[in-house]
Amino acid sequence: MSMDYREYILDHYRNPRNYGKLEHPTVHSEDVNPLCGDQLGMDLLVEGDHVTAIRFQGRGCAISQAAASMLSEMVEGKTVEEVVQLGKEDILDALGVPISPARMKCAFLSLRVLHRGLAIAGLEKTKEEEE
Amino acid sequence: MLSPLKGKTMLLSDNAAATHAPQLTYKGRWTAYDIRDDFPILSQQVHGKPLVYLDSTASSQKPNAVIDAMNVYYRTYHANVHRGVYRISEEATAAMEKARVKIARFINARQSKQVIFTNSTTGSINLVAYSWGYANIHAGDLIVLTEMEHHSNLVPWQLLAQRSGARLEFIPVTDDGLLRLDVYEQLLQQQPKLVAFTHMSNVLGTINPAQQMIAQAHAVGALVLLDAAQSVPHLPLDVQTLDVDFLAFSGHKMLGPTGIGVLYGKRDLLEAMPPFMGGGDMIRTVQLRQSSWNDLPWKFEAGTPAIAEAIGLGAAVDYLNALGMEQVRQHEQEMTTYAMAQLQAIAGLTIYGPSPAQRGGVISFTLDDIHPHDLASILDQETGVAIRAGHHCAQPLMERYELAATARASFYVYTVKEDIDTLVQGLKKAQKIFAL
């Protein structure tokens, strides 16, 4: 099975959803992928028990940036409880193509930044990093 | 075709060294087509396509001669070295020490005891940084490095500077990927204790004027460590002509196995250096509270060494000698010139570093705004081409060019023009995919 750069992945890469910053985010978090230099910063706005807005900025490969865009669509409007539950399977489902082992870190960068943000905001316990 | 071990598989002889030395004869001109059959991995397929291996700068592939030499050792005369008084231990010792002699001759060391086996180039540089550095580098001393160093020739000196209070200064790199030798001359006026630099950049391919730079360093009383990880595999190199003080290189980038590297040093320097690691094999006498050290090179080889790897590296040296290092260099220059012309013809492709005459078989490039990791994935799955993508363990150099990453294609003795043509096709395919 080969990794496939489908049109919808490239569309998310070229026209990322929720790209940018929030003026008054509840929390900001960021991370880099030291192996390839991908960078990602994320702002979350939490109102009541919902994540009402999300923005991200970053640079990197199509996989990391498209995954961030797709993840942002999954997050917006969901309850905090639902967002906390988002995991690697959700990213892989959204990408919809096999991701080679060496590229998993690219695919999961935004997920890591999301959970880091939730942890900083005290909305989620810090989990031991897998890997 | 090399099949050095046919017909002598399992017999022990009285002369291990002779038995296990592959017979190699490339008399006169060879081409990469002649020798590709010597490398079994080159007939592998990936994603249903023939493997096109363009990442020899990261690690080279291995000829049968190397694989077989290690195989025969494990199958017929494996034992620990320098200990046993029985036949196969003596054979193993002889084979390993014979490999040391071959390597010494390959770089034209005066004596084989100046060839110390380590685990890698990194291991060799760390040995010098800890052993020589600990004894000789003090607070305020200056160590001169360059902006184009691999992390392995940067971080050990950072650690030494942190421990000792020494200063680090860096020779900058021009836009064309050459060292600013005018700045080097200024830095030398500050009388550094040590200059450590790469002979050939693993990113830009730049071949630095080592002989001249070493002479300049010596003129102000500085010692020189040359990171030869990329030069020993690809160029004729003579440590006596270079007059280099320390030279570090790896086995796996020169057709040999992983897990073995070499440190060459001038004898008086090595004799004066304290041991780096303590343990078996490196001692002469051991008492409960003190010990005395073994002679060179074993003083620096604590623990059971990488015996099979040393023997494999000896076989790799035989293979390279049979090819002739002048011809190796010439072949790679041909490939590099061809590849640069082909790549430059692709609109949107940018090559970093100097002209083919000033570089080895390494080409770092970017294509449009396609991230190098995406390029590498597409090349892999669409065309079976293996290239490196990333910062190539040279993050400061990437920052110098304001790049997050580059793609890198690199060549060796088995690279043919068709490999480069496949790379070009793959890059065009990637452009098509990303143009959607």
Cβ B22 vs Cβ B315: under 8 Å: yes
Instruction: Look at A62 and B374 and tell me if their CB atoms are within 8 Å.
Output: yes
Question: In this structure, is residue A31 part of a structural domain?
Answer: yes
Nearest by CB to residue A59, choosing from B47, B390, B404, is: B404
Nearest by CB to residue A60, choosing from B371, B433, B436, is: B371
pLDDT value, residue B24: 54
pLDDT value, residue A128: 52
Indicate the CATH number for domain B87-321: 3.40.640.10
Q: How many CB pairs under 8 A join A and B?
A: 51
pLDDT value, residue B17: 42
The shortest C-alpha distance from A82 to chain B (Å) reads 31
* pLDDT exceeds cutoff 90 at A129: no
pLDDT value, residue B283: 87
- Secondary structure of chain A as H, E, C letters: CCCCCCHHHHHHHHCCCCECCCCCCCEEEEEEECCCCEEEEEEEEEECCEEEEEEEEEECCHHHHHHHHHHHHHHCCCEHHHHHHCCHHHHHHHHCCCCCHHHHHHHCHHHHHHHHHHHHCCCCCCCCCCC
pLDDT value, residue A6: 87
- The full set of domain ranges for chain B reads 87-321, 325-434
How many structural domains are present in chain A? 1
Give the number of residues written for chain B.
436
The shortest C-alpha distance from B430 to chain A (Å) reads 10
ipTM of the assembly?
0.84
Question: Which segments of chain B have a pLDDT < 70?
Answer: 1-25, 27, 436
B-side interface with A, Cβ within 8 Å?
47, 370-374, 377-378, 380-382, 389-391, 398, 404-405, 433-434, 436
Nearest to B263 by CA among B225, B230, B235: B225
pLDDT value, residue A3: 61
Nearest to B307 by CA among B137, B126, B117, B175: B117
Tell me the chain A residues in contact with residue B380 when contact means C-beta distances shorter than 8 Å. Answer: 100
Cβ B172 vs Cβ B149: under 8 Å: no
Is B60 catalytic? The answer is no
Q: Residue A37 — very low, low, confident or very high, per pLDDT cuts 50/70/90?
A: confident
Q: Which residues contact B270 (CB under 8 A, 6 or more apart)?
A: B114, B116, B296, B297, B299, B300
Instruction: Look at A63 and B374 and tell me if their CB atoms are within 8 Å.
Output: yes
* pLDDT exceeds cutoff 70 at A64: yes
pLDDT value, residue A1: 39
* Tens digits of residue pLDDT in B311-331: 999 999 999 999 999 999 999
| Residue of chain B nearest A106, judged by CA positions | B373
Report, as an integer, the average pLDDT of A101-108. Answer: 90
Report, as an integer, the average pLDDT of A48-64. Answer: 94
Cβ B94 vs Cβ B17: under 8 Å: yes
Q: Is the domain covering B325-434 a CATH 3.90.1150.10 domain?
A: yes
Say which of B183, B277, B325, B393 is annotated catalytic. Answer: B393
Q: Between β-strands B194-198 and B45-46, what pairing exists: parallel, antiparallel or unpaired?
A: unpaired
Q: B325-434: same fold as B87-321?
A: no
Question: In this structure, is residue A41 part of a structural domain?
Answer: yes
Q: Can you give the CATH number for the domain in which A59 is found?
A: 3.90.1010.10
Give the domain extent around A113.
7-120
Instruction: Look at A3 and B381 and tell me if their CB atoms are within 8 Å.
Output: yes
Task: State the DSSP string of B29-76.
Answer: ---HHHHGGG-GGGG-EETTEE-EE-BTTT-----HHHHHHHHHIIII
Nearest to B263 by CA among B106, B157, B143, B120: B120
Question: In this structure, is residue A104 part of a structural domain?
Answer: yes
